[in-house]
Structure 1
Amino acid sequence: MEKTVSRTPLRISFVGGGTDIADFYRRYGGEVISTTIDKYITVEVSQREDRKIAVWTEEAKAEPGLAPSLVPSLDELQHPLIRETMRKTGVESGVSIEITSDISARGTGLGSSSALTVGLLNALYAYQGERWNAEKLARDACEVEINILGNPIGKQDQYASAYGGLRRFWFEPDDSVIVESLPQKGVGNNDRCSLLEKHLMLFDTGIQRSANTILSEQKRDASPTSLLKIRELVPRFCNALMHKDFDKVGQLLHENWRLKRGLAGSISNDQLDTTYRLALDAGALGGKVLGAGGGGYFLFYVPEAQQSTVISALDGLASHTPFRFEPYGSRLED
């Protein structure tokens, strides 16, 4: 195939984050609830006339005059994630890869690195005429990021981007993953998913951070007791969603953030604490920093009547990013 294009959604995680890391789930089992959103990473793989490898990234496109990475062999490619994903799929020469993202910066807490891995796998496999299901894409993404590259991350992001939609994931001690689909959008105007979506707001703090650094600290310092309490929020979140008790969702996000802040000192800072306090004072019922913490995006639960007040209260500290839920995972474009 001369060209393939994949589009892979980013995700927001509600409760249970941290319990998807192997050190925890192999002893206790982990659970997470997350949803994908309408912010995407697009990967285009096309055939070259020579045997070289060219990679266009968002950074190259953002800086005029900056050339793509062009190397004669895979071993010389300086993008570890791209290099090892190519090696995993067996596409090792003679391609150009262009990567674009709706939200360009890494370190956002939206699972961009894993979305990129899943999207690369999907596009590279399709380039060879292979089409794989979400489980295969998620499992291979975990293999690349965790086992090959040795990143101290969990498994929820890979599974979220591969499967898509609002889902509950169980991470079993034997390394298997159970995936449950929660109510999706589209069942009238009063379906649970749409009602939940209307009360959620994303804010970009403008702070970029290294998830790997924070997660390494968390693995060293976090107590199993705190992570067990975080895991206990998952069935409570499901119950609130089933009964359309959406204000309870806000309270659970608040409880998750309170517990998460105690996992590692670098998860929060003065700016994040100020942002959170101002949002609550303006009417948010709860929220959390997404991903590993330390910066990136805040997710808040805000009654519709208070949303404009929260936007005003955070002006200058964090910028509002409208979004919608995305029911599908990584897909190939025609």
Structure 2
Amino acid sequence: MLVRARSPLRLGIAGGGTDISPYSDTFGGCVLNATIDMYANCTIELLEAQDGITFVAQDIEQTFHSPLLNKLPLEGELLLHKAIYNRIVSEFNDNKPLPVKVYTYSDAPPGSGLGSSSTMVVTIISAYQQLLNLSMGEYDVARLAYEIERKDCQLSGGRQDQYATTFGGFNFMEFYDGERVIVNPLRIRQHIINELESQMILFFTGVSRSSAQIIDDQVKTTNSDDKKPLEAMHEVKELAYAMKECLLKSNVDGMAELLKDAWNAKKSTSTAISTRQIELIEDKVLSAGAKSIKISGAGGGGFMMLFVDPIRRLDVERALNELDGHIQPFRFTQQGTQSWTV
């Protein structure tokens, strides 16, 4: 038996960081995000018992093989693949081992700022869901992915990525204490999406980064004696509401203006969010005619979003082509994670 799954990566438009505890537990967080046509992909082949368990992460060239076990040690490479397998076996297969070969690859590198790690977790879960015919809703899949990453693997991060890729489309998400999440899908008219796509450029800075330091800084913000980062986080949240209102009212120019404020507020939550390289890119593209920029995800590198007047788009693209990194063509997508049998 052969099954496949794919899940879309996401752009964090506004509010990123407010989905991280303890900020979200204390003050409540909110995030505006949207999925794009870049994907995490998974194929699972059900094998014979003697074939054991094999994971092949094709994009990062890592492979793991084990004899058939009902629990894999959470150590070494492909930690997430192992943790997902353990949860699926223990919770959905009566603790009986599964002889599987799991192939994965992502359209974006780790540390891209597009939620690639969480998206991969959701994709693998979705493939197992198809393989075992599991009855799970979107919230169930996203919550399981969150628990695997944050609890089983003890990886730092927020909550938006798992829900964004599971639900797909444009969403305004709310985060509260007790790990409560509410996803509000937004009905965005096609002409607004068209205008967004005409005004936005996605640029890979050429630098993948670990978000751990930035996230750790933001975790400390809530209880810090220095209130400036906390005030900046409050502003990040308020700007997410304002950005949502602009989006729903077809005010794309207003979104571009708010992105300036969102980027400045975001930089104030951690000194690791912006780097000298990012500042050089920012200066160059703004001089070429970009209206505003913001790093997608935690910061420090990865993908950068730019708003441009479509009339100045080619000027900005020429400036970007002189830099390290590359422009990434994209379209917004309305579909969340999908799986099917071959």
Instruction: Give yes or no for TM over 0.5.
Output: yes
Which residue of 2 is the match for residue 207 of structure 1?
Answer: 207
Which residue of 2 is the match for residue 151 of structure 1?
Answer: 155
Shift of 1:125: 2.1
- 2:193 is paired with a residue whose SS is helix
Shift of 1:46: 0.8
- Aligned-partner Cα distance in 1 for 2:235–2:208: 28
- 1:85 is paired with a residue whose SS is helix
Which residue of 1 is the match for residue 196 of structure 2?
Answer: 196
- Aligned-partner Cα distance in 1 for 2:304–2:111: 12
- Aligned-partner Cα distance in 2 for 1:84–1:68: 15
- Aligned-partner Cα distance in 2 for 1:76–1:168: 37
What amino acid is the match of 1:148? D
What amino acid is the match of 2:134? E
Tell me if the contact between 2:59 and 2:104 (Cα under 8 Å) persists in the aligned partners.
Answer: no
Figure out how many residues of one structure are paired with residues of the other and give that number. 323
Tell me if the contact between 1:9 and 1:41 (Cα under 8 Å) persists in the aligned partners.
Answer: yes
- Aligned-partner Cα distance in 1 for 2:298–2:244: 22
- 1:18 is paired with a residue whose SS is coil
Residues 57-136 of structure 1 mapped to structure 2, 5 A cutoff: 57-59=57-59, 68-72=63-67, 73=69, 74-76=71-73, 78=76, 79-90=78-89, 92-103=97-108, 105-136=109-140
- TM normalised by structure 1 equals 0.92
Which residue of 2 is the match for residue 64 of structure 1?
Answer: none
Which residue of 2 is the match for residue 321 of structure 1?
Answer: 328
Shift of 1:119: 0.6
Tell me if the contact between 1:165 and 1:184 (Cα under 8 Å) persists in the aligned partners.
Answer: no
Which residue of 2 is the match for residue 237 of structure 1?
Answer: 243
Cα deviations by residue, 1:245-302 (Å, 9 ceiling, x for unpaired)? 2111111111111111111121111110110121111111112111111111100111
Q: CA RMSD for the aligned pairs?
A: 1.7
Shift of 1:242: 2.4
- Aligned-partner Cα distance in 1 for 2:338–2:59: 24
Shift of 1:221: 4.6
Which residue of 1 is the match for residue 2 of structure 2?
Answer: 3
- Aligned-partner Cα distance in 2 for 1:137–1:220: 29
Are 1:19 and 2:18 matched, yes or no?
Answer: yes
What amino acid is the match of 1:321? Q
Shift of 1:98: 0.2
- Aligned-partner Cα distance in 2 for 1:286–1:256: 10
- Aligned-partner Cα distance in 1 for 2:79–2:34: 27
**Structure 2: runs of 5 or more not aligned:** 223-228
Which of residues 254, 261, 267 in structure 2 aligns to 1:248? 254
Shift of 1:51: 4.9
- Aligned-partner Cα distance in 2 for 1:244–1:283: 22
Cα deviations by residue, 1:7-52 (Å, 9 ceiling, x for unpaired)? 1000001110000002101001000000000000111111122251
Tell me if the contact between 1:183 and 1:192 (Cα under 8 Å) persists in the aligned partners.
Answer: no
Identity %: 29
- 1:281 is paired with a residue whose SS is helix
Which residue of 2 is the match for residue 295 of structure 1?
Answer: 301
- 1:206 is paired with a residue whose SS is coil
Cα deviations by residue, 1:46-77 (Å, 9 ceiling, x for unpaired)? 1122251111112465xxxxx73212244257
Shift of 1:194: 2.2
**Structure 1: runs of 5 or more not aligned:** 62-66
Shift of 1:220: 2.6
Which residue of 1 is the match for residue 36 of structure 2?
Answer: 37
Bigger mean CA offset, 212-221 vs 193-202: 212-221
Bigger mean CA offset, 245-254 vs 172-181: 172-181
Identify if the C-alpha distance between structure 1 residues 54 and 257 changes in structure 2 by more than 3 Å, giving closer, same or farther. same
- TM normalised by structure 2 equals 0.90
Shift of 1:163: 0.3
Cα deviations by residue, 1:309-330 (Å, 9 ceiling, x for unpaired)? 1111122233111100010110
- Aligned-partner Cα distance in 2 for 1:57–1:111: 17
What amino acid is the match of 1:332? S
- Aligned-partner Cα distance in 2 for 1:101–1:175: 28
- 2:72 is paired with a residue whose SS is helix
Tell me if the contact between 1:7 and 1:333 (Cα under 8 Å) persists in the aligned partners.
Answer: no
